[in-house]
Amino acid sequence: MCKKSFAVVGGDKRNIALAELLFKQGHDVKMFGFADANRELSIQCKNLKETISDAAYIIGPTPCSHNGGALNAPFHKDSLFVEDLFRLITPQQVFIAGHVTPQVWELSRKYGITLIDMLEREELLVLNAIPTAL
């Protein structure tokens, strides 16, 4: 296995489960935006900069944002603004989220962010369609 580094920022229980799975597989994982999740998450960081500083991949929520300005982060008491995150992302890092709004796409272009909307990837759509149809 090739060890990779991930930051999980915002999101719901699916993001928590994904972070835990990646960690159990031996990857470096840091999390931010889950202070109110009522779970002991040893890989949780105290600030956004620390969380993403060494990550090759930054995983955001699905949906990424409800309004284009703030990340979907139901377990965080304050708003996590997309632009604050994008200001910290370097050109070598990749931001991955789902259901990305046109406003978030626009911000990614403004900051030169490599962004992947995982719900636009055909292999994920097919796998996601199976339990959705049942």
Interval 48-100: pLDDT, tens: 999 999 999 999 999 999 887 999 999 999 999 999 999 999 999 999 999 99
Interval 10-38: pLDDT, tens: 999 999 999 999 999 999 999 999 988 77
18 contact partners, CB below 8 Å, separation of at least 6: 8, 59
Q: What gap in Å lies between CA 80 and CA 33, rounded to an integer? A: 8
Q: What is the pTM of this model?
A: 0.88
Nearest Cα to Cα of residue 108 among 83, 76, 79: 83
Domains of the chain: 5-133 (3.40.50.720)
